[in-house]
Structure 1
């Protein structure tokens, strides 16, 4: 049975990585989500994909140059699907308070050694506070981040995000003791999938938006798909 994760909430339906987007995902009955994290200047975990503010808010500068209290005042609906009301950048804590997901994939983008350490420790602390440690997998394509997870927060589940095949994703995932492999769908061959599952990895494939592709990957036997359209995925996969 292939399970469904909402990509940045319901990115195809509501502006990505906003509370409204995650609530939309839950409205479809999809209780698993994927999101992206960056640190604010004052060390809070903010839910936004890019390191800069331009694409989603139209503002200048980097996330890390602003305090959390400023960031939550920025409207993040630029360039996304139409939204009537403002959609602020949320703190991760706000989502933990308002969204009852049964599993979260928290993606940490590449980071310096110092920032990677700060981020994984902040995630561990927040997860513990909200009793969500068992419901979280922290994912990254960054070796710094995966190394920090292994070293500093070994109790958190880890996942490798693999976009390109130039490094053997299975080898890298094994090296960092990963539990999950988030695989770009173009890399998901039946052979690689089988090998990964035999190695005990949950294989989550992204970003899958076409019903025909959803069906094909489900037939392959992927453990989960990550989609911008959780409503379409529910209709397609039942």
Structure 2
């Protein structure tokens, strides 16, 4: 990754859920390993437990990584804190992830995974503000409501809508709210990049784990590439 990042300085490379090509996704160990490489930022996913504790995990349920059928929003942090992912790793807190990003000077790319209420989004913002790190966060989500609510609180912030397709409706949404785009790599073309750049919209793509494709996208002029590491 070091060679690739150095070769294309105009593209910002993002470590997807830490560095899952080397360490289990969304773990403190993975975040630290990614932080020691020259990535622009580290991406992660946030949820709230039943007792409103902000934790890091991709899925809504623990079955895939902890082999237990528990929904995060229906389970207390006291219970979740006793579990091990793949019998080894603890479920991280949002605070710990932000601390790592701040310590290693990495942008925090935070996906609001489920739909959240306005008060819950305010809670996330307050937690990040407590670390004095809001200026180094890019918020992303598939849920438009999350992004619109974010913008209603933070007039100036970096926001990207996640999508695996692109159409006129999405384009109009980007224009209206002045959001950037984060789209699956299969949908990226030079024409799309040019259209977005013409309208001062940045474009990110995910999750790119093929070196040839990564170089091709960087040569097209894409702004961000998210990768598991190669």
Per the normalisation by structure 1, the TM-score is 0.85
Aligned partners of 1:56 and 1:76 also within 8 Å: yes
Q: What is the rounded CA distance, in whole Å, between the counterparts of 2:85 and 2:151 in structure 1?
A: 33
Does the C-alpha gap of structure 1 residues 27 and 77 become closer, same or farther in structure 2, counting only changes over 3 Å? farther
1:28 aligns with 2:32: no
Aligned partners of 2:39 and 2:106 also within 8 Å: no
Q: What is the rounded CA distance, in whole Å, between the counterparts of 1:71 and 1:177 in structure 2?
A: 37
- The aligned residue for residue 177 of structure 1 is 178
Deviation at 1:12, TM superposition (A): 1.9
| 1:145-160 map, 5 Å | 145-160=146-161
| 1:160-171 map, 5 Å | 160-165=161-166, 168-171=169-172
- The aligned residue for residue 106 of structure 1 is 110
Q: What is the rounded CA distance, in whole Å, between the counterparts of 2:47 and 2:27 in structure 1?
A: 14
Deviation at 1:54, TM superposition (A): 0.7
Aligned partners of 2:31 and 2:100 also within 8 Å: no
- SS of corresponding position for 1:191: helix
- The aligned residue for residue 7 of structure 2 is none
**Unaligned runs of at least 5 residues, structure 2:** 1-9
- SS of corresponding position for 2:117: helix
Q: What is the rounded CA distance, in whole Å, between the counterparts of 1:9 and 1:147 in structure 2?
A: 27
Q: Which runs of structure 1 show a deviation greater than 4 angstroms over 4 or more consecutive aligned residues?
A: none
1:75 aligns with 2:79: no
Q: What is the rounded CA distance, in whole Å, between the counterparts of 2:119 and 2:71 in structure 1?
A: 17
Aligned partners of 2:17 and 2:25 also within 8 Å: yes
Q: What is the rounded CA distance, in whole Å, between the counterparts of 1:40 and 1:106 in structure 2?
A: 17
Deviation at 1:128, TM superposition (A): 0.9
- The aligned residue for residue 90 of structure 2 is 88
Q: What is the rounded CA distance, in whole Å, between the counterparts of 2:154 and 2:226 in structure 1?
A: 25
Q: What is the rounded CA distance, in whole Å, between the counterparts of 2:122 and 2:203 in structure 1?
A: 25
- The aligned residue for residue 188 of structure 1 is 188
Does the C-alpha gap of structure 1 residues 120 and 156 become closer, same or farther in structure 2, counting only changes over 3 Å? farther
1:55 aligns with 2:57: no
- The aligned residue for residue 134 of structure 1 is 135
Aligned residues between the structures: 219
Deviation at 1:65, TM superposition (A): 1.3
Per the normalisation by structure 2, the TM-score is 0.88
Aligned partners of 1:139 and 1:158 also within 8 Å: yes
1:197 aligns with 2:197: yes
- CA deviations 1:53-90 (Å, max 9, x no partner) are 11111111200112223323322237xxxxxxx21110
**Unaligned runs of at least 5 residues, structure 1:** 79-85, 233-238
Aligned partners of 2:98 and 2:108 also within 8 Å: no
Deviation at 1:217, TM superposition (A): 0.3
Higher mean alpha-carbon deviation, 60-69 vs 162-171, is at 162-171
